[in-house]
Amino acid sequence: MLEAGTGDVAQIWSEPPVGRGRAVLPAVAGFTRVCAYDRPGTYLLPDELSRSDPVAMPRSARDILLDLRALLRAARVPGPYVLAGHSFGGMVARLYATTHPRRIAGLVSIDAQNEDFVAAYNEFLTPEQYEAAVLNPPPPPGLEGYPEVERLSLEVSAAQMRQAQADTPLRRMPLVVLSHSRELPNPFGFPPDWPIEALEQAFKDSQDELAGLVPGARHVIASRSTHYIQLDQPRLVTREIRRIVREVRSR
């Protein structure tokens, strides 16, 4: 199951990649069943809106998790599942695995957002920068009047994830953490007047923390990638999903 990041629809997993190789979704479909979906209110391009019904905004990771569970039941896609989540989708995937451990067999974390990096936003950004980054990001040109453009409550989501981890720590399962290059100066494309170096260090630390949640987890640095590893190095993402699927099947 592929869970996209903020503002991305299912098509992000099938977009022609920047790097060499096939897009992730069709490549993964070559060795296992794979599903992706549009969260309500998301957008990829100004003329390409979510195919899902609109819902009230903003939304938290738990809201999205409940939608995903209902979708999988309605589509009659039996578990257990390997979840691959990018950016905020990585937090959703991890919350699912933490709160419903019997349903999740493995995790692929792709430059995933987490509660520690949300805390770094609070620490390093001014209130104006924080609002621009996480509270109310503006819709892309042409969608200013579209009321269902995705709004995410990162503060609430981070609290949900932190509490879930404290209550029932992520169980031992096949886990790989993919992180963007540690050599690029601004992988997220933050405005140049933001504290980019401090935010980048905080993100690196948060990725190390994720990899330390499960004994034996692997942490792989995508040396040629910005935040969108699935577009910059699709072969790497596909390879690591295949590795987790094989490990799950061998158990």
Q: Which domain holds residue 235?
A: 2-249
Q: State the total domains in the chain.
A: 1
Q: What is the pLDDT of residue 44?
A: 57
Burial 111-133 (b: 16+ CB within 10 A, else e): bbbbbbbbebbeebbeeebbeeb
Cite the DSSP H helix spans in the chain.
24-28, 61-74, 88-99, 115-124, 127-130, 154-167, 196-211, 229-232, 234-249
Task: Please report, for the domain that includes residue 210, its CATH number.
Answer: 3.40.50.1820
pLDDT, averaged per 10 consecutive residues of the chain (251 residues), comes to 92 90 97 95 68 84 95 94 97 97 96 92 88 58 52 87 96 97 91 94 96 96 96 97 97 87
Q: Is 155 exposed, middle or buried (0-12, 13-18, 19+ CB in 10 A)?
A: middle
